[in-house]
Structure 1
C-alpha cells in the first residue's frame, strides 16, 4: 500500500431516515454510513470521511457551525469539528465506557450526552473548553427524545416511553449538580377518570400520640424500605393505568414543553410547576357524527377531542391520529408535526381551541423535521431515504430535494468497460444505476420482489 499511496473517499450515498440538521444557512447534513453527508439546497453534495473508530450519534450546533461525532467503540471519544473547514475543534474523552446513545447542543457553549451500557448516564460538558461539568445516572430505559431548553441551557428534557424528566442544572462557583423534576404522565384514555395526584403515594396516616399532636404520613416506599431509583420502580409497578407514551418534544420560548405521544395525544408541560396536561386526544374510532357510541356519553363526562371542535372531515389531514406526532418542531406560526401517516400539519397553539391551520401530504413516513437558521425552509426526512423541502405557509411549495431509497445492499457490479455505470441491488428489489465518477443516481427500477444476488455481464450491457 505504501507504493500506491492512500485511498481517498470519492463519494458516499444513502440516507436511513435519521435526524437531519442544518449546519449552514442553506446546507444540511446527516449521517451516511460512517461518513457525514452535506447537501446544499441547490443540490450540491459533499462528504466528510470520519477517521474515528466507528461512528455513533451525531449532532450539529447551527449557530456556531460545529458538528459533534461520537465514536462507536470501547472508551469512545467525541470529536467536534468546525464547518466548513472540518478543522478539529476539540476532542472529549473519558466520559462513556462503551457507547453514546444521543448527543445534543445547547444554544450556547454547552453539550449534553446520554451514555449507554454500562453507565446509563446523562453527562453535561462545556464543549468549548472540553470540560465535563456534571453527570448523573438516568436508568436503562431507551430515550425517545432529548433536548435543551433553547432559552436556558440549565434545563434539559429527557423522555422515554414511560417517563418525562426535566433535569435542572444547579451551580455553585465551579460545582455543578443536575436535579430531576419528574413529570407525571397523563392517562392515555380520555374517558378514564383519574384522581388528583396529591397523596396518591401515601399510606394511611399514623394517629397522633401523647408524645406529639401531629400525625405521621408514611409513603409506601418508606414502608417497603426502598430508597433511590427503587422508589420510582415501585410506583410504576403499582400504577396499572394506561398512560401516554412520549416520543417527541419541542420547547417554547417561555419554557413550556410540547410532547407528542405514540397514541396521538399532545401534551403540554408547564415549566413553572412541571405538571403535564393533555391538550389534544385523538378521536376514538366509534366517535362519528350521530353515532350511538358518541351520543351515549354525557358531554360533561367526555374529554375535548378534535371532533368536539370541528366536524369529522373526509380529509385525514385535518385529524391527528395514532403515530402522527413522531416528530415536532416549533415555528412562529405554530407547532409543526409529522409522523407515520406522511402528513405535515401545522397546529395552532396560540388560540384557545385546538386547530389544524395547514397540512401537506408528503406520502411517506416522516422521521425528521429541521428548520433552516432563518426559519424560511423546513426539511423533512423520511424512512424510505428521501429528503423534502417545504416553505412554511405555502402548502404547494413542497419539493423533492433528494431520493436515494433506503435498504440493505445485497449485490453490486460493473457493466462493460465502455460504461461508467455501476449497478447495485437492494434486498427489497430496488435496482439502481450509479455514475462511479460523481456518485449520481442515474436510474432505478423496482422488480417488486426480494433480491438475494446480482450478476453483471463483463461483455454486454446487462
Structure 2
C-alpha cells in the first residue's frame, strides 16, 4: 500500500481534502476524518502536479518519454481529458488559473517551453520557449488569468497572455531584481539621458541622437 510524503508539492482539492503525489500515486487525505484515497498513475511515476480547489480538479504528468498531462475531477476521480504537448522528457511545473478553465505547464530539457492550455476544450492556446532556463515556480495572477509569474533560479518574469479573438500570444516582461547588496541597478535611458549636475547649462534635456556629432 502507499504511504508517506516525500515531496513539498501538495494542495487542497476542496475545503477539507489535501492531495499530493507519492511515487506512482496521488493521495487524497481528508483532514477531518483522516481517511485516505489513492489514484494510481497507470503509466509510471507522477511528475509535475497541481490542484485547484475552486474547480475541484487536479492535473499531473507522467515521467516517461513524450509525457502526457492528465486532468481528473474530484471526488469522482474521473478523467475528462488528456493534454498532449511537444514535451519529450518531462514536465516540471503545472499551475491552474484561479478562474476559468486554464492550465499552465513548463517542460524541462530540451524544450524549456511555457504553455497555456484551455483544459476543458483540450486546446493549446499559446506557448513560448526559454532555452536553458530551469523553472522553480509558476503561478497565475488570482485576479487575472492572463498574467503569469514565472520564477527561475536567478530571475522572475511576468508573462502576459495577449488575446485577439481566438488568437493568443505570450509576451515577456522581466522583473529587475536587487543585487547581492539589496540594491536595484537603475535603468539607463539611452534616449533621454538624466540631467547632469556638473552641466552649467540648465536648458531642456535633449535626446542622444540630437547632440551634435552623433
Work out whether the TM-score is over 0.5. yes
Distance in 1 separating the partners of 2:2 and 2:45? 16
Aligned to 2:155: 163
Deviation, structure 1 residue 55: 1.9
**Unaligned ranges ≥5, structure 1:** 1-10, 203-212, 218-462
CA–CA distance in structure 2, aligned partners of residues 68 and 214 of structure 1: 52
* CA displacement, residues 143-170 of structure 1 (integer Å, 9 cap, x when unaligned): 1221000110000001112111000010
Which residue matches 1:37?
27
Work out which of the residue numbers 41, 52, 57 in structure 2 matches 1:61: 52
Distance 1:56 1:122, change over 3 A: same
Query: 1:121-136 counterparts in 2 under 5 A?
Result: 121-136=113-128
TM-score computed with the length of structure 1 as normaliser: 0.40
- The partner residue of 2:102 within 86, 100, 110 is 110
Residue 85 (structure 1) aligns with: 76
For residues 45 and 21 of structure 1, the distance between their equivalents in structure 2, rounded to whole angstroms, comes to: 15
Alpha-carbon distance between aligned partners in 2 of 1:155 and 1:139, rounded to the nearest angstrom: 21
Q: Which TM-score applies when normalising by structure 2? A: 0.84
Residue 23 (structure 1) aligned to one of 13, 29, 52? 13
Q: Secondary structure at the match of 2:121?
A: coil
- C-alpha displacement at 1:92, in angstroms? 0.8
Q: Which has the higher strand share?
A: 2
Between the aligned partners of 1:141 and 1:174, the Cα distance in structure 2 is: 29
1:214: Cα distance to partner?
6.6
- The number of residue pairs the alignment matches comes to 195
8 Å CA contact 1:125–1:134 kept in 2: the answer is yes
How many Å separate the matches in 2 of 1:82 and 1:214? 58
Q: Distance in 2 between matches of 1:115 and 1:131?
A: 17
Say which of 166, 170, 176 aligns to 1:184.
176
> Could you tell me how far apart the structure 2 residues matched to 1:19 and 1:195 are?
34
Residue 175 of structure 1 is matched in structure 2 by: 167
Distance 1:125 1:189, change over 3 A: same
2:195 alignment counterpart = none
| Shift, 1:72, TM fit | 0.9
Residue 76 in structure 1 maps to residue 57 in structure 2:
no
Instruction: After the TM superposition, list the runs of 4 or more consecutive aligned residues in structure 1 that deviate by more than 3 angstroms.
Output: 213-217
Q: Within 5 A, what are the aligned runs for 1:263-278?
A: none
8 Å Cα contact 1:18-1:31 kept in structure 2: no
Q: 2: CA distance between counterparts of 1:116 and 1:189?
A: 31
Quick one: distance in 1 between partners of 2:44 and 2:56? 23
Unaligned runs of 5+ in 2: 193-205
| Deviation sequence 1:249-307 (CA, Å, 0-9, x none) | xxxxxxxxxxxxxxxxxxxxxxxxxxxxxxxxxxxxxxxxxxxxxxxxxxxxxxxxxxx
* Distance (Å, rounded) in 1 between the aligned partners of 2:102 and 2:16: 24
Distance 1:87 1:185, change over 3 A: same
Asked if structure 2 preserves the Cα contact closer than 8 Å seen for 1:82 and 1:89, the reply is yes
Structure with bigger gyration radius: 1
Corresponding position of 2:202: none
- 3-state SS in 1 of match to 2:18: strand
Higher helix proportion (structure 1 or 2):
1
Deviations 1:120-142, CA, capped at 9 Å, x for gaps: 00001001100000000123222
How far is 1:195 from its partner? 5.2
